[in-house]
């Protein structure tokens, strides 16, 4: 097992990884930008290394600076968290050259799943249902209209390199396809530096359901049930829960086995999530996230599995500590993302100084946070303050506990979405 790991991230996810590493007896190294000198993750880690200016492009996204921090501190492995470099295939490649272990999947898995067109082709090869559509790159608006006519309306125009709702347009007619194609292409170029788009059938009133996977280097892969993430704003998840109220045990098994089949086809290692669109009893592969996700705590709450611990164990070459038969769903868990944003200004980010901070507690309540009283939330990064998770023996109890916890959560000095 590793003696020291570096967390190439910040905020709540860095704090969350540090907690598990500490329980495992592993020393931790934090990295921080100028804007994060007073970050909670910096205070929690055993060591901290400054890596540059506030802009992520000059600090958290600079691979050479992360590697230099590893060399400086003797960190043997790097946990990327989510976002930043977590799904950048060049990162694990660079780490490997320096003899540093990446706590994540193989490079080929990141490359295959990082491109939405290629990931859907892969899912087809693995014989996992995908949303009907055209998987080739579309060259112009006329071709986009022709393809949409063949698929049938409504359609979704999507950026191949996209995420977070960027580079996406819904079209109900040929005119809307032509306009949506141009807009999606332009937005994809500015957001991701990649203007490739594709078109697929838009599933009306779908549920967004994802399967949590864990796989080791010894050929073992299991699923930890599902999460439902259908409550979103502008394609960004706001409330997540496990299990899904829409799935029967039989459907859960079907989706879980489909996800495991895809993972084994890919020779996947570590934690990952396969996201499905679910509608009228049918489920379709949407994408795979080759990292730990923001909403992983709800799965941990209902299964008792520490997903980050398993990530670290797998990266160290150890086999999974449990089998599929050991996984049981116990109760219900809900997560709310608490953000520094102004509800009266269309939920625009509202960073600033946190004057007062008191998080809720009690039975079944978990708070994954990266802030504290007197901390100034920087303007340079995501606006998420924390994740509030409530567990109950059933969905009603989880909802009741969440309501109580939201009422008891006190954050002053910045506007939030608590109300």
Tens-place pLDDT, residues 155-195: 999 888 866 677 889 999 999 999 999 999 988 887 788 88
Mean pLDDT computed over 257-263:
96
pLDDT at 164: 65
CA distance 120 to 144: 18
* 210 has pLDDT over 70: yes
Per-residue DSSP letter, 87? T
pLDDT at 118: 84
Mean pLDDT computed over 22-47:
98
H or E stretch at 412: strand 410-412
pLDDT at 393: 98
Q: How crowded is residue 232: how many other Cβ atoms within 10 Å of its Cβ?
A: 13
pLDDT at 394: 98
Phi and psi dihedrals of 11, rounded to 5?
A: 65, -150
Question: Which of 417, 178, 214 lies closest to 323, judged by CA?
Answer: 214
pLDDT at 41: 98
Question: Which of 51, 55, 57, 54 lies closest to 6, judged by CA?
Answer: 51
- 66-75, 197-206, 335-344, 359-368: the lowest-pLDDT one: 197-206
pLDDT at 190: 79
What Cα–Cα distance (Å) separates residue 311 from each residue in 144, 216, 335?
41, 9, 21
Q: How crowded is residue 61: how many other Cβ atoms within 10 Å of its Cβ?
A: 18
Question: Which of 183, 164, 154 lies closest to 83, judged by CA?
Answer: 164
What Cα–Cα distance (Å) separates residue 39 from each residue in 118, 127, 369, 403?
38, 45, 11, 29
Two tokens at 14?
Answer: 């860095």
Two tokens at 108?
Answer: 């080929």
Mean pLDDT computed over 123-145:
89
The mean pLDDT value of the chain amounts to 95
pLDDT at 236: 87
Could you tell me the pLDDT band of residue 124, with boundaries at 50, 70 and 90?
confident
pLDDT at 42: 98
Mean pLDDT computed over 295-315:
98
Task: Give the catalytic positions in this structure.
Answer: 291
CA distance 83 to 236: 14
What Cα–Cα distance (Å) separates residue 302 from each residue in 65, 68, 150, 220?
38, 39, 43, 21
Give the sign of the dihedral formed by CA 350, CA 16, CA 291, CA 94. positive
Could you tell me the pLDDT band of residue 114, with boundaries at 50, 70 and 90?
confident
Q: How crowded is residue 67: how many other Cβ atoms within 10 Å of its Cβ?
A: 20
């Amino acid at each position: 097992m590793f003696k020291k790991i570096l967390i190439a991230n910040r905020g709540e996810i860095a704090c969350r990884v540090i907690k598990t590493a500490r329980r495992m007896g592993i020393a931790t190294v934090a990295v921080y930008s100028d804007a994060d000198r007073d970050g909670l993750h910096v205070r929690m880690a055993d060591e901290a290394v400054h890596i540059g200016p506030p802009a992520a492009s000059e600090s958290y996204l600079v691979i050479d600076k992360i590697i230099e921090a590893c060399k400086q501190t003797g960190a043997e492995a790097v946990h990327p968290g989510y976002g930043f470099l977590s799904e950048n295939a060049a990162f694990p490649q660079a780490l490997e050259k320096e003899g540093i272990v990446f706590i994540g999947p193989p490079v080929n898995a990141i490359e295959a799943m990082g491109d939405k067109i290629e990931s859907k082709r892969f899912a087809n090869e693995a014989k996992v249902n995908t949303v009907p559509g055209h998987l080739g790159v579309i060259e112009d608006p006329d071709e986009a209209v022709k393809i949409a006519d063949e698929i049938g309306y409504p359609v979704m125009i999507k950026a191949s390199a996209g995420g977070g709702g960027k580079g996406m347009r819904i079209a109900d007619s040929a005119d809307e396809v032509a306009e949506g194609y141009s807009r999606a292409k332009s937005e994809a170029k500015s957001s991701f530096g990649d203007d490739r788009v594709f078109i697929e059938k838009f599933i009306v009133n779908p549920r967004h359901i994802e399967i949590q996977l864990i796989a080791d280097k010894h050929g073992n892969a299991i699923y930890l049930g599902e999460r439902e993430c259908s409550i979103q704003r502008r394609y960004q998840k706001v409330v997540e829960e496990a299990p899904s109220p829409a799935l029967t045990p039989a459907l859960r098994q079907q989706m879980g086995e489909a996800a495991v089949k895809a993972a084994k086809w890919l020779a996947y290692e570590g934690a990952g999530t396969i996201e499905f669109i679910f509608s009228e009893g049918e489920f379709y592969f949407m994408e795979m996230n080759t990292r730990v996700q923001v909403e992983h705590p709800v799965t941990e709450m209902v299964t008792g599995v520490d997903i980050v611990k398993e990530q670290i164990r797998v990266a160290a070459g150890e086999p999974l500590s449990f089998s599929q038969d050991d996984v049981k769903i116990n109760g219900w868990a809900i997560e709310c993302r608490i953000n520094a944003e102004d509800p009266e200004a269309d939920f625009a980010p509202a960073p600033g100084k946190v004057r007062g901070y008191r998080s809720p507690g009690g039975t079944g309540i978990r708070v994954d946070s990266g802030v504290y009283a007197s901390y100034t939330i920087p303007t340079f990064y995501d606006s998420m303050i924390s994740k509030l998770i409530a567990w109950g023996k059933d969905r009603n109890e989880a909802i009741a506990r969440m309501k109580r916890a939201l009422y008891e959560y006190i954050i002053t000095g910045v506007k939030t979405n608590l109300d």
